[in-house]
């Protein structure tokens, strides 16, 4: 399962690189984080989740593209209290074209997992 999560994170890190955003992993903190600091906190830009129960798997990721980050002021995303969240739009300073982001995800997903859509 750890390898699968690593591969999902790798897809997102490569997508972010297409937009000149540095994504990274943190030990014991699944998801993708940015090197950019906000109020002294590392910021999470993508959540990754995988669950297996009764021979059924559920998995996915949530990449904050043009997300309204004000909603996250009311919660502790993923249970982390010392970190903040951010979006591609917030980092780049401009709204991202969702179709372009989706195309980048498909490309890198295919590359990382060695498959075609």
Catalytic residues: 78
Structural contact between residues 78 and 27, judged by C-beta atoms closer than 8 angstroms: no
Calculate helix-pair angle for 2-18, 98-113, nearest 10 degrees: 140
Closest among 5, 21, 31 to 101, alpha carbons compared: 21
3-state secondary structure of 89: helix
Residue 55: DSSP 8-state: T
CA 64 to chain centre: 7
């Amino acid at each position: 399962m750890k390898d699968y999560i690593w591969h999902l994170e790798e897809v997102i890190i490569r997508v972010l690189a297409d937009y000149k955003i540095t994504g990274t992993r943190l030990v014991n903190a699944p998801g993708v984080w940015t090197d950019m600091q906000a109020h002294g906190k590392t910021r999470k830009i993508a959540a990754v989740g995988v669950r297996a129960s009764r021979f059924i798997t559920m998995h996915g990721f949530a990449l904050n593209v043009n997300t309204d980050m004000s909603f996250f002021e009311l919660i502790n995303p993923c249970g982390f209290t010392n970190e903040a969240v951010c979006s591609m739009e917030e980092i780049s300073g401009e709204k991202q074209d969702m179709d372009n982001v989706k195309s980048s995800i498909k490309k890198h997903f295919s590359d990382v997992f060695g498959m075609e859509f």
